[in-house]
Structure 1
């Protein structure tokens, strides 16, 4: 058995782990690289093996950094099945379509304004190419053994994080390999706690927050204070957020605050082309989260959901106080850029960062105190107030990651730490060795292991 790390090794994006066993090749996740340019450029490179030789893809969940490279994989010749849960299939279709539209729009804008370094800017993939992924998506039942090939079985286990997200237990060659995917928190606002694995010979554990603990603060109170402070100044609040689950968590908290009369009666806008679709995923899958269908419907009525870009322009031109939730969560693209173009230079604006910001992203630069930021080829001075609410993160912190390993009945042969920057992964490696006396490794990009 060979295991090759071709993404999310030393970084939190581009999740891809290649497994080869008895002539079968399978890929755990197929994500897009985001952040610094050297990582983004990897999206244009082919895999180290021919896409046509990969038999299966198993998706842990539908975030772009876990599913966003699928159109390239299919375009390069992949014809196998892509296994995932029902909500993940719905989200993946939304995410890929939205990603393709953004890439087409960005390429068109770069060509019109001549801001590309290339003679002709091209999208990484088109909407048409994204849709070619859809027929290959295959829904698997939760916590049920699925036979992939002779001697290879998989079980999908709830992981929290976002709706439909799972860890994957893979049985092959008499070994149990467990891939955590992205792990949620035990006390998430909307989702149930991750299910802890009971047996694993090899563990592939995310380490996004491996070096820190989430602040023990009340995100509801923090949101209340930031919104009311901005309202008193007549300012706009912009919350960059992933369109699925994080946005709904923020909406849920705002809905509660509004019912309790703790925030003002101003427009609350979800600006996302897939906003309606994201709501529909929650409506369709109430067994995956803590809200009833009635609560989902009542909550949605509080918000204006912008799908058309003309609605975005109208919201931008209305300079009155408002709260806007817009993708993308790391400010790498999407409608949030249009808001920042117009509002980041206004001192009365408050930008609330609510999720992990990868190295090289605009979100990371903002929380690190950048004085100016580049958007669509132009630099804008940062005069807005930049604040961060760590306690709204969808990722488990160091304590959550350590606890996820606590119910293993055997000592794993090795734990691989992936999906984290090196300082975070190394700190978690030390903690795991201290706590469980387990051999722990941090693989490098492109590194291969034989078992």
Structure 2
């Protein structure tokens, strides 16, 4: 059996792990690279194997860094099956269409503004190419054993990261391989705790926060303070948010604060068509989250939901203080850019970062104190107040990842740390070795191993 790390090694994006066994090729996730330019450029490179030779894709969840390369895979000849849970299929559809639309718009803007280094800027993939992925999806129920081959089975169990997110267990060649996907938190506001594996010969564990412990701060109290301080100054609060689960979590916390009369009566806006569509996925998949129907309905009624871009423009030019949740979470694209073009240069503005920011993204640069950011080929001074709420992360921290391993009844032969930048992954490697005494390594991008 061979394992090849095609993405998500040494970085938190582009997740792709190839498993080859007895002539069967299985790709665990098929993510898009994000962040610094050398990583983004990898999206344009062909895989080292023919996509037509891949039999199955097993999708842990629907975030772009796990599903965002599927249109390229299909366009280049993949003709197999993509297995995932029902919410993951729905989320992936939304994210792929949104990604394709944004890329088409960015390419058009670059061509109109002549700020691309290419003679003609092209999108990584089009909406039409994204739609061609959908017929390949096959739905898996949690804990259902799927036979991929007479000697290969796959089982999906709840990972608690976002709605529908799962860990994948592969059984083949008398071995059990566990691919964690992204692991959520035991105390998440909306998601149920991740299920821990009990048996595994080999584990492929994410390490996004492998060197960090989430602060034990009250995210709701922080939101209350930041919002009241900003509105008191006559400013606007902008929350760049991942459209899936983070946006809904923030909506829920804001709804609670409003119900408790702790934040002012100003407009509360969610401006992400995809985030609004995700609310339907929450409504249709109640077994996957903690929200009760009455709470959900009341929460949604509190917000002005913007889908039409003309409404976005009108909202931006309305100088009334307001709270805006807009995608994208790492400020790499989407409507949040339109808000920041106007508001990032105003000292009364507050921008609250609420999720992981990959290396090279605008969100990371803002957290690192950037004095200006580039949007659509133009630089804007950063005068707004940039704040972070770390306790809203959807990823388990170092303690959470160590705890996720705690139910294993036998010692795994090896743990591979993926989906993390090198330093966090290596610090987690050391902690796993200290706590459990297990053999643990951090694979390199493109590395191939035999099991």
User: TM-score interval w.r.t. the shorter chain?
Assistant: over 0.9
Contact 1:316 1:342 in 2 (8 A): yes
Aligned residue number for residue 358 of structure 1: 358
Partner SS for 1:351: strand
Aligned residue number for residue 241 of structure 1: 241
What's the CA shift for 1:367?
A: 0.4
What's the CA shift for 1:300?
A: 0.5
TM-score, normalization by structure 2: 0.99
Do residues 160 (structure 1) and 160 (structure 2) align?
yes
Aligned residue number for residue 179 of structure 1: 179
Contact 1:275 1:305 in 2 (8 A): no
Separation of aligned partners in 1, 2:378 and 2:13: 26
Aligned residue number for residue 61 of structure 1: 61
Aligned residue number for residue 375 of structure 1: 375
Aligned residue number for residue 405 of structure 1: 405
- 1:194-213 aligned at under 5 Å gives the runs 194-213=194-213
Partner SS for 1:31: coil
Contact 2:247 2:275 in 1 (8 A): no
What's the CA shift for 1:295?
A: 1.7
What's the CA shift for 1:294?
A: 2.2
CA RMSD, aligned part only? Answer: 0.6
Partner SS for 1:192: coil
Aligned residue number for residue 139 of structure 1: 139
Number of aligned residue pairs: give it: 451
Contact 1:275 1:307 in 2 (8 A): no
Gaps of 5+ in 1: none
Give runs of ≥4 in structure 1 deviating > 3 Å. Answer: none
Partner SS for 2:130: helix
Partner SS for 2:334: coil
- 1:381-420 aligned at under 5 Å gives the runs 381-420=381-420
Partner SS for 2:12: coil
What's the CA shift for 1:437?
A: 0.5
Separation of aligned partners in 1, 2:434 and 2:289: 34
What's the CA shift for 1:144?
A: 1.4
Aligned residue number for residue 22 of structure 1: 22
Aligned residue number for residue 225 of structure 2: 225
Partner SS for 1:295: helix
Deviations 1:355-412 (A, max 9, x none): 0000000000000001111111111110000000000000000000000000001101
- 1:29-108 aligned at under 5 Å gives the runs 29-108=29-108
Partner SS for 2:96: helix
What's the CA shift for 1:293?
A: 2.1
Deviations 1:227-282 (A, max 9, x none): 00000011010011100100000000000000000001111111112233111000
Separation of aligned partners in 1, 2:319 and 2:22: 62
TM-score, normalization by structure 1: 0.99
